[in-house]
Structure 1
């Protein structure tokens, strides 16, 4: 491996107290083909139910990366990381977070033996962070919509369903080739696969009606969830607020309220994407065409590849 020097920022960046307490910040993780080490771990970025995410540097090229490590030593958490790495490695689209590598934490410390996934680092935060600042402009949201639908078209063409489309899993990118990156394929599955008993399936406030009912899911469930995300971006509020139970019950009774002030184009797109009947929702390709009409200048993106 021909390594590049570690950037000065990476050499001097202090780990936060929380990150330091994990025992992984500051270590260099290897790969089978790079046993001397390839990824320098920096600060903790966040924790989920089954994984912990760190910022890192790829010492091969000096680029920043995100390192996702199995949260616990349980087999379930390890399977989740292995499955996500396999899925990401099979995808190649500018609107899907890029796969870099996968490996296992070497001996030493509490993380020893746990699998890790290395992926592209997105610089712009997530839609969840943008929403906390209030509603976004329709043209900007249209750009996000077109890019995300382009990425979903690619995912769906591989026979996969993401199952957890939500603001936190759509990352913003400062790169010109695409404005968003779809991330976190931890519970992605083959389309129409029956959910396993007790298996996590999405985030309550963005679940489709069929997802809430525990039915086998197709590509339409991602379209519905993205519709709710886009509506929240435009209004600054969740379409189905309240407790998880209240939110789930509400969407089985009615569609989301889409303000007429958004304009005919947005009302048409969001109404179609959030139709109660999955068969009535557009494909990602069809929805992309509608979203493209809502923005003045759209960068060329391939729908599938």
Structure 2
């Protein structure tokens, strides 16, 4: 739907990301409306694991979003480069993504396109869910025609593949597919054509997970991949909590994670994390002057350091200290 640019906000003196709707789709009213919906829905979401939206505008027949610039890389690139990821790292990514989806669902928004390309990971392990471009309010009519399938076939839930409305459970299925891919290094449902891939989501069981995947994580991933929506976890927030990162401990866990990683693990990002290689035409001069932005050429990324995900047990230590303090106060 859009191309992402690195930009300088000359009014507030900060670096931002600007997503510009592709001119090839600008003439299609449904795409423009969906793009505007991204601004409306994302602006209502506030969560540490959701990329913040700052502004929306239209200029010279181009619609654009101004968003938080996440100095990280798409999970898709991480898996492509490193292959199967360690179980602890998978748990950490899933927990944060699940809590982000929980916040969205509680605000009445279904993402509908959860996939590795829409999950950004920073050098210190923070996860940012982005691109609500085809999301819609749970209780709204949206812009999708009856029977229209919206989403990416490799991560499409069975109900979406059948043309049924997407729900929060659909996002959990997609997150389960992402988890499976992180653990194995390959997509669990990947056929020769998009239609065949979508049908596999409906009819085929996922491949078995590797033997080293523990019982609790294995059970959660398998539950997310249940074909029936009502057999999946009750909510995204519940899934995040079961993965070991309660919402109430999110801020403290993030602080512990940074301390564990240390400043040596911080890598200055070079270039712009553009997830789609489609070439972009020149941006009109008027819009360029307004945003003061420049296109950053794609450059090779330095290899991200492997992170020791010790913050989950650290969170348990913090919780134990809090309980001990509470008991002391009641005496």
Provide TM-score, normalisation by structure 2: 0.68
More strand by share: 1
What is aligned with 2:184? 235
Task: Identify which of 65, 73, 85 aligns with 2:16.
Answer: 65
What is aligned with 1:140? 89
The superposition leaves residues 56-113 of structure 1 with CA deviations (integer Å, 9 ceiling, x where unpaired) of: 11223433211111212313332222111111111100111101111222xxxxxx13
Q: Which has the higher contact order (CA 8 A, sep 6+)?
A: 2
**CA RMSD of superposed structures (Å):** 2.0
What is aligned with 2:47? 93
Q: Hey, what's the Cα distance between the residues in 1 that align with 2:32 and 2:219? A: 42
Does residue 173 of structure 1 match 2:173?
no
Does residue 184 of structure 1 match 2:131?
yes
Task: Identify which of 230, 239, 254 aligns with 1:287.
Answer: 239
More helix by share: 2
Q: Quick one: structure 1 residues 63 and 268, their matched pair in 2 at CA, closer, same or farther if it must change by over 3 Å?
A: same
What is aligned with 1:277? 228
Unaligned segments of structure 2, at least 5 residues: 246-308, 316-331
Q: Hey, what's the Cα distance between the residues in 2 that align with 1:207 and 1:226? A: 10
2:16 counterpart SS class: strand
- 1:210-225 matches, within 5 Å, as 210-225=159-174
The superposition leaves residues 223-272 of structure 1 with CA deviations (integer Å, 9 ceiling, x where unpaired) of: 00001001101110001112222322222223312323312122111011
Say if 1:187 and 1:200, in contact at 8 Å, map to a contact too.
Answer: no
Provide TM-score, normalisation by structure 1: 0.74
Task: Identify which of 195, 198, 203 aligns with 1:245.
Answer: 195
Q: Quick one: structure 1 residues 286 and 258, their matched pair in 2 at CA, closer, same or farther if it must change by over 3 Å?
A: farther
Say if 1:80 and 1:187, in contact at 8 Å, map to a contact too.
Answer: yes
Say if 1:192 and 1:216, in contact at 8 Å, map to a contact too.
Answer: no
Shift of 1:137: 1.1
Say if 1:273 and 1:287, in contact at 8 Å, map to a contact too.
Answer: no
1:55 counterpart SS class: strand
Q: How many residues align?
A: 242
Q: Hey, what's the Cα distance between the residues in 1 that align with 2:21 and 2:195? A: 29
- 1:22-171 matches, within 5 Å, as 50-72=1-23, 73-74=26-27, 75-105=29-59, 112-133=60-81, 134-171=83-120
Unaligned segments of structure 1, at least 5 residues: 1-49, 106-111, 301-305
Q: Hey, what's the Cα distance between the residues in 1 that align with 2:218 and 2:148? A: 34
